[in-house]
Chains A and B, each alone.
Chain A
């Protein structure tokens, strides 16, 4: 995709802060002074120690939460509520158990004005992309975790959002399936060229998938550092430069993890 250097980023985050219960004594400052640009077509990973607010940042992008201060622009427009210009993938899949695989994927399309025939055709296209042919009429409870997450990815991509938001999507999968799903996601994104914001706490996963890794500090979450990953795709886990980047991310992260442990009094 051609990228105009001067064009504003797809997502612009300016002086963003999020506090929970700001009026009470138990105020939790989750995010402080976040400034971040997310470029179109790029895979951005948010990583940080647990409780650093990386999921909160994703929820703000999704419109599930409102910022306490600062602004958050998608395509130049402020994000105020959830909407179909974004797709969200949860760790627990959040599929609708009363709908089939096909029904789960067509739901978003039908809700956005697609005719039944068009929605079916589009859904089948995405079912093929995530390699679930033959499972169109299966109900989610009959599928394995990895298959459910494929459905969730297809469901979020099918209505063609501007950005795909993923909240530790492979965190509930066993390590074999997880590795496989990372490769599958890479393959799917090479096909669709979709902008992704991806939350994880796995450095291995981050470096394998990301164009850019944003390391957040321990609570309150601030941007600790940004590491660009300029490795060619498709990637393999065995690339030499891959290991160097992993070391760089780990060293940034370990400082924060130590801080977090001190805070917890350990």
Chain B
């Protein structure tokens, strides 16, 4: 098995290069068609600028002015704080709910209701109670991740096969040891689903929160929202495309690696 590793890695590398090409070329094709159509005067458009204009705007924001990175770092700071709070608290609460029938009976109905509330619906409440600054945006991010993570942690622990738990208990394993050695790893399939959903929701919530929290200066959502004052649609598109790309990469990178290193390696889900 060990001797096969390098071959597998090479294949994976080749596959991932091919994967990037396959992912990118439709964008290139659409951009070329759109650019051509505008230049030859087949269509007139105010709301959708030419790809070359968007690219120029990107260059200005990223290199000439350099403000893009300021926006990005502000956004990622809020995402990181809110999301890690959501992971820590969500996993803990989800575990408690799955282990205590009393707590579960009390909170599960509430949770199943709140899990389907779009996070942005919380914003007006937060703007009143927490103000118009960073705290509100971070709390929005937290709420975005929290419900999905809590719910999926709870479900995951419940779905650990009964016989695996009994087998461990017969070995004399109980309490916290049973939780960390059996219930937690056994629930990882669902837990990782929760982490992935959570980061997606948290990212969407972040952008919405940044648009509506008036007191913050920086943030990728802020950048898009403020561009309307200058009537600069190109900035909006730079923002929209980067928001999409970031959200995609957040999902495809570290959580995907976690998934490959754990549940796929252990055969708990089919390899993708």
Interface positions of A (Cβ within 8 A of B): 62-64, 81-84, 86-88, 90, 92, 94-98, 107-108, 111-112, 137-142, 155-156, 159
Known: A94-B166, A98-B188. Is A139-B171 also a contact (CB below 8 A)? no
B167 in contact with A94 (CB, 8 Å): yes
Main secondary structure of the interface of A (DSSP, over half): loop
A139 in contact with B166 (CB, 8 Å): no
Q: Determine which of B163, B166, B173, B267 lies in contact with A140 in the assembled complex, contact meaning CB atoms within 8 Å.
A: B267
Which B residues touch A137, using CB under 8 A? 1
Q: Is B15 at the interface (CB under 8 A from chain A)?
A: no
Known: A90-B163, A107-B181. Is A98-B170 also a contact (CB below 8 A)? no
Known: A97-B266, A139-B266, A141-B267. Is A111-B171 also a contact (CB below 8 A)? yes
Q: Determine which of B161, B163, B169, B171 lies in contact with A107 in the assembled complex, contact meaning CB atoms within 8 Å.
A: B171
Nearest chain B CB to A64's CB is how many angstroms away? 6
Q: Is B177 at the interface (CB under 8 A from chain A)?
A: yes
Which A residues touch B181, using CB under 8 A? 107, 111
Query: Which residue of chain A has the shortest Cβ distance to B163 in the bound complex?
Result: A94
Q: Which of B172-207 contact A (CB under 8 A)?
A: 172-173, 177, 181-182, 185-186, 188
Proximity bits, B137-178, A CB within 8 Å = 1, else 0: 000000000000000000000000101101111111100010
Which B residues touch A62, using CB under 8 A? 166, 170
Main secondary structure of the interface of B (DSSP, over half): helix
Q: Determine which of A88, A141, A155 lies in contact with B266 in the assembled complex, contact meaning CB atoms within 8 Å.
A: A141
A63 in contact with B170 (CB, 8 Å): yes
The 4 closest A-B pairs by CB, nearest first: A141-B267, A94-B163, A108-B171, A84-B172
A88 in contact with B172 (CB, 8 Å): no
Q: Is B262 at the interface (CB under 8 A from chain A)?
A: yes
Distance A62 CA – B268 CA, assembled complex (angstroms)? 27
15 contacts between A and B (CB under 8 A): A63-B170, A81-B169, A82-B170, A84-B171, A84-B172, A87-B170, A90-B163, A92-B161, A96-B182, A96-B185, A96-B186, A97-B266, A98-B268, A108-B171, A141-B268
Proximity bits, B202-220, A CB within 8 Å = 1, else 0: 0000000000000000000
A84 in contact with B266 (CB, 8 Å): no
A86 in contact with B266 (CB, 8 Å): no
Q: Is B39 at the interface (CB under 8 A from chain A)?
A: no
Q: Determine which of B164, B170, B185, B265 lies in contact with A86 in the assembled complex, contact meaning CB atoms within 8 Å.
A: B170
Distance A95 CA – B171 CA, assembled complex (angstroms)? 13
Query: Which residue of chain B has the shortest Cβ distance to A96 in the bound complex?
Result: B164
Which A residues touch B188, using CB under 8 A? 98
Distance A153 CA – B209 CA, assembled complex (angstroms)? 56
